[in-house]
Amino acid sequence: MNVAINLYDLTQEELTRLLEGWGEPAYRARQLWAWMYERRARSFDAMTNLPARLRERLSAETALGTLVLEAEQVSHDGTIKRLYRLADGQLIESVLMVYDDDRRTACISTQAGCAMGCVFCATGQMGFARHLSAGEIFEQALHFAAELEASGERLSNVVLMGMGEPFHNYDASLAAIRLLMDRLAIGARHITVSTVGLVPQIRRFADEGLQVRLAISLHAATDQRRAALLPVNRRWPLAELISACRYYVDKTGRRVTFEWAAIAGQNDGPEEAHRLGRLLQGLLCHVNIIPLNPTGGYAGGPAAREALERFVAVLAEYGISATVRVRRGIDIDAGCGQLKAAVARQRRVFG
């Protein structure tokens, strides 16, 4: 069986070559491109200035994306979580976070599952299925952007923090970032890519010349503690990770954000804050503290607000800025580290 060509995977030049191979003039590709990225068309039938025969062939041999919406949940705080089925049956989740200051942030996935095995992350607990293509990554944001624009709003930010490790799928993730900038006009500084700490890819990313934000999942300030939470630390321990982060800062002039899932009684005390302060002192960075979100496969709980206020105060002694992030979408398992539960349920239903 022939697999339909996902048009979102094609560059404008590749789209032009495809249509010219069908005997179409070059301007048809420009028209199609405009329908896809300026008018956000969701079907070929809507492309009324294309001849019917071309629309029929496009429908038969290509696709305007491959994501099929299986389910949607809306949190009491306005967060939207979507479950998508891919062409091969794999399932992924995407999240739209709505803020009072008019920010609209899409959190998108780069893999079906994840191979990193972080113990407190629901996606890590489910294992790895496959990489997503650049088009599959990009399409998650495109759907949110199109719907926001239809209601007079716009997608302002995108974070590659959904299911998967973006730097494990480096080429497709970087290609998707360029699609976000080129086709959705989202500025590089409004895009964030998050990694558990794949050191060679961090250095490679520093050399890309992009102004995209970099976030590192840190969560512990000693190798022993971090390796217990994030197995990747056994491959690239903290000394190598921090060295790569310093290289990134020196190369780009941009600060690094360190994500810290605050776990009650484990990494929320002043001693750990002092360890973290000594580890990061002198590095242009910010610590983003997220009280641990609950997952079925990990028994730890979120740190208390009072403990985190002390934690932030200790970091300030080392000249390190830190904020405690408000958790969003927890009631629908849409928070950081929670993207799995609906996927597992749907796999039992549809698998």
Same domain, 327 and 225: yes
Whether 198 and 218 map to the same domain: the answer is: yes
Backbone conformation region of residue 163, classed left if phi is above 0, alpha if psi is from -120 to 50, else beta: beta
On whether both 298 and 337 belong to a single domain, the answer is: yes
Coarse DSSP helix, strand, coil percentages of the chain, rounded to the nearest 5 percent: 45, 20, 35
Which amino acid type is present at position 124?
A: G
Residues 192 and 274 in one domain: yes
Instruction: Record the pTM.
Output: 0.88
| Residue 218 identity (one-letter amino acid) | L
| Lowest-pLDDT choice from 198-207, 274-283, 301-310 | 301-310
Residue 30: CATH number of its domain? 1.10.150.530
pLDDT tens figures, 185-195? 999 999 999 99
> Does 168 lie in the same domain as 42?
no
Q: Please give the full DSSP string across 12-43, using - where no structure is assigned.
A: HHHHHHHHHHTT--HHHHHHHHHHHHTS--SS
Q: What is the structure's pLDDT at 334? A: 45
pLDDT at 121 (0 to 100): 78
pLDDT on residue 296: 59
What is the number of alpha carbons within 13 Å of residue 71 lying toward its C-beta? Answer: 15
Q: Are residues 228 and 329 in the same domain?
A: yes
Choosing from 121, 245, 285, 336, the catalytic residue is: 336
**Per-residue pLDDT, 6:** 92
Residues 221 and 343 in one domain: yes
Amino acid sitting at position 303: A
Same domain, 121 and 157: yes
Catalytic residue list contains 24: no
The chain-wide mean pLDDT, for the chain, equals: 89
58 vs 297, which has greater pLDDT?
58
54 and 193 share one domain: no
Q: Does residue 141 share a domain with residue 280?
A: yes
Which residue is associated with the tokens 């979120």?
302
The catalytic residue among 24, 93, 136, 139 is 93
Q: How many domains does the chain have?
A: 2
How much is the pLDDT for 58? 97
- pLDDT for position 100: 83
Reply yes or no on whether the pLDDT at 148 is more than 50: yes
Alpha carbon 282 to its chain's center: 28
Q: Which band of pLDDT confidence, cut at 50, 70 and 90, is reported for residue 3? A: confident
Q: Across the beta sheet with 191-195, what order do the strands follow?
A: 68-74, 80-85, 91-98, 104-107, 157-160, 191-195, 213-217, 256-262, 285-291, 321-324
Query: What mean pLDDT do residues 208-236 have?
Result: 95
CATH number assigned to the domain comprising residue 164 = 3.20.20.70
Same domain, 91 and 170: yes
pLDDT at residue 133 greater than cutoff 90: yes
Boundary-marking domain end, from 63, 84, 102? 63
Choosing from 17, 38, 63, the residue where a domain stops is: 63
Residue found by looking up tokens 């000594």 in the block: 278
Whether 139 is a known active-site residue: answer no
Neighbours of 58 (CB within 10 A): 21
Last residue of one domain, picked from the residues 48, 63, 78: 63
Q: Are residues 187 and 222 in the same domain?
A: yes
248: confidence class by pLDDT, cuts 50, 70, 90: very high
CA distance 28 to 126: 44
Tell which wins on pLDDT, 84 or 99: 84
Query: What whole-number distance in Å separates Cα of residue 99 and Cα of residue 273?
Result: 29
Containing domain of residue 160, as a range? Answer: 68-350
**CB contact at 8 A, 19 and 7:** no
Instruction: Lowest mean pLDDT of 3-7, 150-154, 211-215, name the range.
Output: 3-7
